[in-house]
Amino acid sequence: MSLDGFPPFISAQLHYLINHFPDKIKVEQVLSGGKTYTGGLDRFTLLIPYCLDYIKWDIIYNAEFPLAPPDIIFGPEDEDFHPLHMTGRVGEGDLKFWNILSDWNYKDPTRLLALIQELRDRYMAYQKKRVGEVDDDRLTFEISTICSREGIEMQISSGAEKPEEVKFAVPLMDMNINKMVHGCPWRHPQKIYLQVIYPVGKKYASTPSAPRLKLMSTTELRALFTIEDVKLPSWLDGMCMAEYLPHLEESLQKQVLEAVSLIDIRRHFIEALAPLFGRPLEADPVFCRKATFLASSGSFVFLVHFHISTLFPKQQPALMFQSSQFLYSLENMNIDCLLQHISPQGIPKKSPLLAEYPWSPRWEASQMAERIFDFLADESLNFKRFCNESQPQH
């Protein structure tokens, strides 16, 4: 996001927070609070990742008095969250929190990050305490079996029109996916979570129903691995999370390793296209999910975009033709060509995605490339006709 309009000290603290917070944090509702002060923006809402959702906290600086730390307003659903009074005695964590506030140095760009991280840790302890106080034997048992796992977050929620329920966010697999991808562009660690939601009940039923389960992941991971394609193991009667998680993690680990190995399979396929289409104009060098080639049918020259799924080669690439308008030089010939099949608004013509053509995942990459080349030779005639018919007459 743009930090234009903030006073320099707020801009520096926000920039550091956004770039160093462990997860992706969002900034919304940026405002200026002073009626007479014209020094810039000084309040905003932070969307802080927690339990596979976001908690919203309003951060209110006073740009006219920068020596003071910002005020923070928590959400209406957390009116009982009082981070300054979390314990009855002063401990090491309390002293650390008080030091952040009492020694506030507005020139230090790291201060807002330290404050938000400390508050989030206290919020996590607050939610864990609330869940632990729920009068539900099953939840009490579940917590006792998974309390040793690191990184679990939990939250209790209720509303006027929905029953009280407890949500767990369980990080899965102790593996660094970022390091497994050569040239990884991800700034934040990529993770997979199991969301587990239990309705709150007063009695421990003899055969309690299975909780609601959903796999979730960080957004960027979809370039490598799509969790929507994962089939969750069945939750058997009487099962608890401590029994369920090892089987799920074992299956997921195998699938992630396979997804990493498929990067090279896609790269080999793109390389196999080059002898027929020439070098790609563009190609995804990390995940090998996209490639664009220049193709021709007689004097008709166009672009071919390859969209390659994470399920390749089981799922064939989707193809799209595109006209364009640019100058290019034919190799070994002193000829410049101008491609002009565009709309009056300057928009290139595009075909629908094409994914119905002869294909077998058992073919060698060279045979896949040859079959696609033969298919494009025929289909390009239809695209040429489409471009010519939709070209405005002069």
10-residue mean pLDDT series, the chain (394 residues): 81 94 91 69 93 94 84 90 66 65 87 94 92 87 86 84 86 92 90 92 64 92 91 89 93 95 97 95 95 87 93 96 63 48 66 93 96 92 82 55
283 & 339 share domain: yes
Measured between alpha carbons, how far is 246 from 250 in angstroms, rounded to an integer?
A: 6
pTM above 0.85, yes or no: no
Where does residue 79 rank: exposed (0-12), middle (13-18), buried (19+ CB within 10 A)? Answer: exposed
Give the pLDDT confidence score for residue 335 in this predicted structure.
45
Element (H, E) at 255: helix 241-277
Tell me how many domains the chain contains. Answer: 3
Residues 219, 280, single domain; the answer is: no
**Is the same domain home to 234 and 320?**
no
Q: Are residues 15 and 48 in the same domain?
A: yes
Supply the CATH number for residue 12's domain: 3.10.110
Residues 74 and 162 in one domain: no
- Residue 264 within any structural domain of the chain: no
Supply the range of the domain harboring residue 113.
1-133
Q: Are residues 315 and 326 in the same domain?
A: yes
